[in-house]
Structure 1
């Protein structure tokens, strides 16, 4: 695979050919109608194995269903040494070339078996005819133990007539909302279609209970969930739920949300930072109407740390799930970029990355100012940075900066005043008991004020553009006992910045 991460193609697996007629009859060598034939492949991968190992499977005519199962050994390894982890996926007769024309599904390490046929497929895989030709099972050795990785793949075909295909029903791009308003959403959620344990129906119910107005289905390296939300967006409890679909593009050098692309859009993930491919796929996300959002850029899992840079990012996920030290690092790194290039910046957002109980959907959530509850309006608000992040729907805030002559700017905007003008930043917070407010600028934290015990209150700070290039607000919990001096408590909320003064160029 030219220009992609390293790959290896194994010897092919074949099955007896069916008689002419494509599913209506079989020859003497093939299994009878509805019968199953199985081939077993065993192999071994050593440390330093290629990222992708392709097993070609020759599919004859007359196959109605393909079934695959696999296993691999997991020897004990010393503390601090990575053990074996082997992911799996499938490409059909259209091939394995980058871009994904032949893509038929991915389950990573979440499943040990799957099937595909015209009318149905295992979650993570795309239903469709099992056409004759060379298919490929993709094995991806994520980590290999020093002892090596021995694997076994069982490939089965079931003969018979192809059942009628089903046309997927995708969520609508616009649902009933409240007109121009602040809408709450969680744009990083996993279901049974990748490594999550919740069904789409369970996720929709939990999102409504969390007070969310919109969610985004972001499965690892697959689009199979795009048609799995039928009937879940309608009005319940007096409101609609906007459901957007996309993908979490899970590379070996970091994860990125292809946020709210056109349904059915597949974004390939088979490259590393050194392959110089990411820009191509970032443009593909935008052509499909979506946003490019690096996820948990300082995540601690293998392959999670973002290595592609932020030049192609439309936003960045700086808060992922319960607030942890890697989120603090992401927040600081993002803040450090805000004064680098006059007139250009990358908005921040936060999402739950919820997979299963007890993961909380809506912890955190991004609150977006949008003209309506639609895919286009929500994405426009996120792209412009007209948003803040809160730990739950109980926490809300307003943040504005005013100038001496009535000038006014809100989150994500620029207050255009002279460099020496006196400007006042004001934040009002509700639902944050035991918290304090911090005003943050390009120089750092310049004011901290405790909120009343009720958690509802406001704070003001006066500055000028010559002293602060931007100002943003944070709401923080009290630092836990034993935390080093100067290290703040976890976030309860934070805003995107308001920039101050005219853009200084040159």
Structure 2
């Protein structure tokens, strides 16, 4: 079968647009034995075609699945012609929706592997990582191609669909992680909420990630596979009193990525929209209805589609530090600091900062960086409450310890994310105690910028104090940095805090 260029263009329930190809038909009966184009008890069809430059974000290939099918297997490939320097080449993602349809936010989603795999299968009892096991019901399924970038020559694709016949099989109930671990009562808990396993484009198994999280001194992690929930049930036996595992998703749109942190197990959040579709608010609310936090990820990353274009009005926090600290994190940090200024002027709510590793494979370091949260206990709700309130600091590893507070002349005290409500002329003292940061410099940053810096002792341990007034500084936050490695930029971050606000404004 060939499907050449455009067959018909259809709107897909609020999506940017989609190309729907002609249907792939199989005989509407289970074969008694072998069939042409397939082995015993199976049938195979092959579809080839060509997509021009400027194709819609999603191309749906309808597949008529007859009764008696127990497994669907799909393989695909596409060409990668040479392109001029500076021009994007071909990149095409893949996934599948079942007979319930492709409606945006609908129930038909059955899996997505992006560009991480060239083939997948699913049946009642098992599926390729990234895909959801379950019944293979008769009806119109849709293979979803996502031409992420298309070369000037266009993109030629080749899709092979194999239906296998037999007993339907049984789908076991998934085992999901508990929402609470033993913890230490009200304490600072370390976590990494942006991680990838073999269930999307990572190379590590859940067991390997859990072991690395423990080795990194983490108390909690969050599953965040690209556009799939298949990992939610993959952690059986890996949690414990010492490690809480939250379920979530990295919602990976063409206009930026968002970590849905701590959503209810099995709840899928759609990603098939752009900023111009004005749909993100709807799906941010869906994340919250599922009990999750909305955290834009790496807003100024340089990869195609990674820049955050949806604004920050719907965010609960923002990822200002993603993996090893780089210049794009510096841009995000400056943008976030501007939101603090807007808040002190009454123009915006304040948005807490968090940091995650986004670790995919060796040598990516789980827990570089890690978000340290003051929570009432080690549970999903308590951690989310702590992040939402901004009771957070960020560290490059568990070797770094930190405490930060501001006090007034009469013993008034405020910690991270709190406000020291004293008069504008009251003298206040910011105090930062650090350990595990040899060779680093401490700075205090306010709405006027970096106002005080001093090196730590060679041991990397010490307490630094600085005095100011609310009239001079509407907030104070602390940074601990390594020596500069890039001319014109401050050094990479070792640790940083959310702010302490000063004065009685607002």
Q: Deviations over 1:348-380 (max 9, x none)?
A: 000000000000000000001111111111111
**Counterpart in the other structure of 2:23:** 12
Equivalents in 2 of 1:414, 1:100: separation in Å?
Answer: 43
Q: RMSD of the alignment, in Å?
A: 1.5
**Counterpart in the other structure of 2:322:** 320
Summarize the alignment of residues 232-311 of structure 1 with structure 2, pairs less than 5 Å apart: 232-235=238-241, 240-311=242-313
Equivalents in 2 of 1:31, 1:11: separation in Å?
Answer: 20
Q: Deviations over 1:49-95 (max 9, x none)?
A: 11000000000010000000000000111211100000000000000
Equivalents in 2 of 1:136, 1:224: separation in Å?
Answer: 18
Equivalents in 1 of 2:254, 2:83: separation in Å?
Answer: 22
- Of 432, 439, 447 in structure 2, the residue corresponding to residue 442 of structure 1 is 447
Equivalents in 1 of 2:32, 2:423: separation in Å?
Answer: 82
Q: Deviations over 1:133-178 (max 9, x none)?
A: 0000000000001111100000000000111111100000001111
Query: SS of the counterpart of 1:335?
Result: helix
- CA displacement at 1:464 relative to structure 2: 1.1
- Of 155, 179, 182 in structure 1, the residue corresponding to residue 185 of structure 2 is 179
Equivalents in 2 of 1:55, 1:192: separation in Å?
Answer: 25
8 A Cα contact 2:32 2:41, kept in partner = no
- Of 399, 406, 413 in structure 2, the residue corresponding to residue 401 of structure 1 is 406
1:484 matched to 2:495? The reply is no
**Counterpart in the other structure of 2:70:** 64
8 A Cα contact 1:190 1:217, kept in partner = yes
- CA displacement at 1:31 relative to structure 2: 9.8
**Counterpart in the other structure of 1:332:** 334
Tell me how many residue pairs correspond in the alignment.
492
Equivalents in 2 of 1:286, 1:346: separation in Å?
Answer: 16
Equivalents in 2 of 1:279, 1:503: separation in Å?
Answer: 30
**Counterpart in the other structure of 1:153:** 159
Equivalents in 2 of 1:319, 1:246: separation in Å?
Answer: 19
8 A Cα contact 2:255 2:305, kept in partner = yes
- Of 133, 136, 152 in structure 1, the residue corresponding to residue 139 of structure 2 is 133
8 A Cα contact 1:412 1:496, kept in partner = yes
8 A Cα contact 1:18 1:30, kept in partner = no
1:347 matched to 2:347? The reply is no
Query: SS of the counterpart of 1:191?
Result: coil
Unpaired segments ≥5 residues, structure 1: 20-24
Query: SS of the counterpart of 2:112?
Result: strand
Equivalents in 1 of 2:114, 2:445: separation in Å?
Answer: 40
TM-score (norm 2): 0.95
Equivalents in 1 of 2:293, 2:339: separation in Å?
Answer: 19
**Counterpart in the other structure of 1:22:** none
Unpaired segments ≥5 residues, structure 2: 1-11
Structure 1 residues 242 and 28: alpha-carbon distance in aligned structure 2, compared to 1, 3 A threshold: closer
1:421 matched to 2:426? The reply is yes
Equivalents in 1 of 2:169, 2:207: separation in Å?
Answer: 26
Equivalents in 2 of 1:502, 1:279: separation in Å?
Answer: 32
Structure 1 residues 463 and 34: alpha-carbon distance in aligned structure 2, compared to 1, 3 A threshold: farther
8 A Cα contact 2:190 2:370, kept in partner = yes
Summarize the alignment of residues 94-243 of structure 1 with structure 2, pairs less than 5 Å apart: 94-235=100-241, 240-243=242-245
1:451 matched to 2:462? The reply is no
